[in-house]
């Protein structure tokens, strides 16, 4: 009886030890989640400051009695552009939160990738040419190129990468290419812009949720776009990575799974 009692006590101690370890792990996870959400909202506060200032600042200018009709149109355009930028930031942060919570859904379907790439080129070429940049697609596939993935999600990722490439490239060119690689399609956006240096590169695709980048403005942007791209790429069964060009500039690659190749 005494032996059985000792065995029972040992089992109780062991279970208690496991419970304490699990509780410690849960507390650490909660602490990490709290820190990440604190960083996320700190970065959100910094991200929305510019468009919000644009809206409030030019709205104040519109109240002036001596504003001409032409000036009023210009101020209204700035307010509208700032409002769209602010709305996009809010949507991106909400979607990033959904991805982190496992609630963001993608819906794969069959579509011609060439049509998307052509439309994307037509959409962004005027914006690039306005800055004196050449935007082109390398080795664009002429025949039909049907894949099975989420066209809306791929378009969103490519749009953000092209937006950043145009924004941070002062002169030269931006190249978009894509190719089939077994069960995946690999995309590449290359530019002759400012490039990205260490230590930023080491945490490039999680900066918005893991680093309080609002405290450091050594690198343009707060990392929201790339953090969101990383989350979206993973939902499509792929990965995203970055390389610096030897002559200056960046090369962003990402892959997505082609479900028709299964």
The tens digit of pLDDT for each residue in 110-155 reads 999 999 999 999 999 999 999 999 999 987 767 789 999 999 999 9
The tens digit of pLDDT for each residue in 21-39 reads 777 766 666 665 556 666 6
Please give the Cα distance from 124 to 129 (Å, whole number). Answer: 9
List the single range of 107-116, 163-172, 213-222, 232-241 with lowest mean pLDDT.
213-222
Tell me if 204 sits within 8 A of 254, measured CB to CB: no
The tens digit of pLDDT for each residue in 180-207 reads 988 999 999 999 988 877 666 767 887 6
**What are the residues facing 172 on neighbouring strands?**
133
Domains in the chain, CATH or no CATH each: 2-100 (1.10.287.130), 109-261 (3.30.565.10)
Percentage of the chain modeled with pLDDT above 90: 49
Cβ within 8 Å of residue 113, ≥6 positions away:
141, 145, 146, 147, 154, 178, 185
pLDDT at residue 217, as a whole number: 40
Model pTM score: 0.78
pLDDT at residue 148, as a whole number: 95
pLDDT band at 159 (very low <50, low <70, confident <90, very high): very high
User: What is the DSSP secondary-structure string of 161-197?
Assistant: HHHHHHHT--SEEEEEEEEEETTEEEEEEEESS----
Average pLDDT value for the chain: 84
Cβ within 8 Å of residue 50, ≥6 positions away:
82, 85
Helix (H) or strand (E) holding 134: strand 133-137
Q: What pairing do the DSSP bridges indicate for beta strands 109-112 and 172-181? A: unpaired
pLDDT at residue 208, as a whole number: 63
Tokens of 146: 């049907």
Name the 3-class secondary structure at 221: coil
Mean pLDDT within 54-78: 90
């Amino acid at each position: 009886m005494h032996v059985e009692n000792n065995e029972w006590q040992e089992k109780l101690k062991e279970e208690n030890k496991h419970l304490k370890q699990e509780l410690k792990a849960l507390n650490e996870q909660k602490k990490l989640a709290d820190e990440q959400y604190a960083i996320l909202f700190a970065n959100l506060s910094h991200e929305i400051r510019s468009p919000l200032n644009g809206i409030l600042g030019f709205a104040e200018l519109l109240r002036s009695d001596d504003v001409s009709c032409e000036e009023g149109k210009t101020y209204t355009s700035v307010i509208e552009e700032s409002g769209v930028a602010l709305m996009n930031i809010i949507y991106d942060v909400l979607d990033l939160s959904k991805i982190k919570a496992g609630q963001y859904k993608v819906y794969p379907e069959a579509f011609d990738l060439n049509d998307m790439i052509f439309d994307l080129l037509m959409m962004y070429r005027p914006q690039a040419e306005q800055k004196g940049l050449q935007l082109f697609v390398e080795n664009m596939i002429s025949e039909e190129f049907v894949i099975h993935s989420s066209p809306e999600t791929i378009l969103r990722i490519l749009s953000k990468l092209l937006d950043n490439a145009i924004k941070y490239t002062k002169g030269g060119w931006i190249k978009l290419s894509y190719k089939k690689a077994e069960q995946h399609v690999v995309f590449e956006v290359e530019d002759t812009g400012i490039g990205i240096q260490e230590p930023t590169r080491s945490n490039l695709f999680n900066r918005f949720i893991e680093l309080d980048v609002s405290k450091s403005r050594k690198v343009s942007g707060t990392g929201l776009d790339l953090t969101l791209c990383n989350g979206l790429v993973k939902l499509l069964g792929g990965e995203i990575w970055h390389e610096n060009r030897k002559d200056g500039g960046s090369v962003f690659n990402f892959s997505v799974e082609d479900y028709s190749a299964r």
